[in-house]
Amino acid sequence: MKWANVEIEGKVWCGLVEGDAVLPAAEGCLSQHLADLGALEAAARRSDRRIALSEAHLRQPVIRPGKILAIGLNYAAHVAESVSFIKNDKPEVQKWFNKQATAANGPGGAVHVPRVSSQLDYEAELVVIIGRHGRHVPAARAMEIVAGVSCGCDCSVRDWQKASPTMIMGKGFDTHAPFGPYMVTLDETGPLGPQAIRGWVNDELRQEARLSDMIHTISEQIAHLTAAFTLEPGDVLFTGTPAGVGAGHTPPRWLVPGDRIRVEIEGVGTLENHVIAEPDTDRLG
């Protein structure tokens, strides 16, 4: 099944995606219903309302995640190209960082080139959405706590990332964690691995790999994270990016206002975002 959050008259509803339409099921974010998608499906099928995808204002599958966690250096070719902008030792131990909740962004959303840097980069990624609580989850059972997957782009401000050993500052800027347009359940995707992942900038293919090229599998990632802390419904995991990021080029190819980013994953969907200069975001109180 495919699920989406859609904005209707200024309110967020979650709904079932079938064909070229969304069937609204319940008011509120999809993350509130991950424990019983069966009941949500029944509500969607009782709905007498259908919203054409071409007219729907889709939002990210989790409006405000409790955690946005991302693994670095999880595709071998990306490890090789990363020598220019981070310490890229062979990742025998998983390298994790967090993106802030205010980084969450949805399909069609604007990604900001921050006023404090011009080094905005893109990273096409598979996103995992957690559906059940998990602590000390063995790898063999890790997929049991996964609600579904989505497309994502781990936007990164490279000079700020390089300046901090934790990478948090360069990875956590507002708008820099777009994901969507859907949450696709694993019964629809089938086993994750053979699917191609591709990243495009302005219709130019920049990144391409298979999910099976990950160094640390999704199950291994979940087992590692839950050894330290609890994963909760609505938490979001960015699972690594293939080679081809802007920083890996000579000279680097940073995103600029007017650029369009597209992430495609076979059987999962297509996420598109546009890049703008950071608007007036000053706020105090």
Neighbours of 277 (CB within 10 A): 12
Structure letter (DSSP) for residue 214: B
What is the number of structural domains in the chain?
2
Percent of the chain as helix, strand, coil, to the nearest 5: 25, 35, 40
Residues 38 and 93 in one domain: no
- 283 in any annotated domain: no
Residues 21 and 83 in one domain: no
Cα-based torsion angle of the residue sequence 116, 119, 123, 127 in order, rounded to the nearest 10 degrees: -10
Q: Which residues pair with 134 in a beta bridge?
A: 231
Structure letter (DSSP) for residue 254: -
Residues 84 and 149 in one domain: yes
Locate all alpha helices (DSSP H) within 18-137, ordered by sequence: 37-46, 76-81
Pairing of strands 110-113, 21-27: unpaired
Residues 140 and 255 in one domain: yes
Q: What is the reported pLDDT for 85?
A: 57
- 118 in any annotated domain: yes
Residues 41 and 72 in one domain: no
The CA distance from 199 to 201, in Å, is 7
- 272 in any annotated domain: yes
Buried b (16+ CB within 10 A) or exposed e, 237-257: bbbbbbbbbbbbeeeebbbee
Residues 111 and 28 in one domain: no
Q: What is the reported pLDDT for 88?
A: 58
Residues 207 and 235 in one domain: yes
Residues 72 and 129 in one domain: yes
Q: At which residue do the structure tokens 């820099």 appear? A: 176
pTM of the model: 0.96
What CATH number is associated with residue 163?
3.90.850.10
Residues 104 and 226 in one domain: yes
Q: What is the reported pLDDT for 279?
A: 97
Contact 216, 75 (CB under 8 A): no
Q: Which residues of the chain have pLDDT under 70?
A: 82-91
What's the token pair of residue 222?
């979940």
- Residue range(s) defining the domain that contains residue 76: 68-277
- Work out the end-to-end distance of the chain between its first and last CA atoms, rounded to an integer number of angstroms: 41
Q: What is the reported pLDDT for 80?
A: 73
Angle among Cα 235, 209, 83 to the nearest 5 degrees reads 85
- 82 in any annotated domain: yes
